[in-house]
Copies of this chain bind each other. A is one copy, B any other.
């Protein structure tokens, strides 16, 4: 039931399901932390009855997304005030970190549910209308199913690719290392959308909308990427998303750089179509993000300029493919808006599959 803080629920909650861990008699060495925010419990407590965007209530689905993301933090604070009174305190840094992770998990859950709905329809089931989203106009086809994967921090997205593609990239890297002592490290977008491999198309778990964000559902979300690692064709990584709750000016560049590397590897070397890389945030903090993200993909610019040089031939397709490195900077208004946006994207993109 929660979502909003419930004193009745919290009072009845087993200690191990609480949003806070009392560390005053179990302190962390060299840390002043007295209470720890338990992110998974906070999500399970707050979203024990629905996934945002897919609740029965339109009001909840259209709540400003920043408020939805803040809700688990507020609930933890309310639990602290109830159970520990004036003793309760959690540092701002800890809250910011957890809020960033919650933003990422809730975003993943919203996209996951829309993907499940899309997949069910593509597999021949009727279009689920609760809550109502416009039915896709794309002809249903099981080959058009997708998966939304939350990639863990430090993961190399190249490991999602089929072995031959990984090998090609490793060849490039080995060549760089051997001939020049150089690396081509990749970090990771937070969320990747991929076309579902053929052998997964019958598996109903890709078509199941999550009813809530309790611990078992969070586990489904967190581990989904493991089921598809090593099985994605380069052209089937159709969308990458960097999720950053706030974008100070020096934080703009990691997604921009990573988009450039992905485009160089996937488009430039493996011949994949355009890599759609997007950045999602809640707050711009007055940065020049909009302008910086108009930046062209460096790989594409290099190829285009090469094509203008005398004596050099470049395939016209390569030249026509010039595009932005980061396709858009998106600030979701609400969970519903975020879900709708994925649906729109799929309606356009999946006609090509």
Contact = CB atoms under 8 A, between A and B. Distances in A.
Given A176-B296, A250-B250, A251-B250, A302 B264 contact: yes
Contact of A182 (B253, B264, B323): B323
Contacts of A254: 249-250, 252-253
Nearest to A294: B183
Interface string A261-272: 100100011000
A256 interface: yes
A260 interface: yes
A295 B185 contact: yes
Interface in A221-279: 249-254, 256-258, 260-261, 264, 268-269
Contact of A301 (B264, B295, B322): B264
Contacts of A303: 302, 306
A298 interface: yes
A291 interface: yes
Interface string A160-179: 00000000000010001001
A127 interface: no
Interface string A58-84: 000000000000000000000000000
A299 B298 contact: yes
A291 B266 CA distance: 22
A242 to B, nearest CB: 11
Interface stretch (A3-11, A311-319, A339-347): A311-319
A326 to B, nearest CB: 11
Contacts of A294: 181-183, 185
B299 A302 contact: yes
Contacts of A260: 257, 260, 298
Given A298-B299, A313-B312, A314-B312, A305 B183 contact: no
Contacts of A312: 312-314
A269 B313 contact: no
Given A176-B296, A311-B313, A184 B301 contact: yes
A180 interface: yes
A261 B185 contact: no
A298 B185 contact: no
A322 B182 contact: yes
11 contacts: A172-B301, A182-B296, A184-B296, A250-B250, A253-B253, A253-B254, A253-B256, A253-B258, A256-B257, A269-B305, A298-B299
Interface of A: 172, 176, 179-185, 187, 249-254, 256-258, 260-261, 264, 268-269, 291-292, 294-296, 298-299, 301-303, 305-306, 311-314, 322-324
Nearest 9 interchain pairs by C-beta:
A183-B294, A253-B253, A182-B296, A253-B254, A253-B257, A257-B257, A250-B251, A302-B302, A299-B302
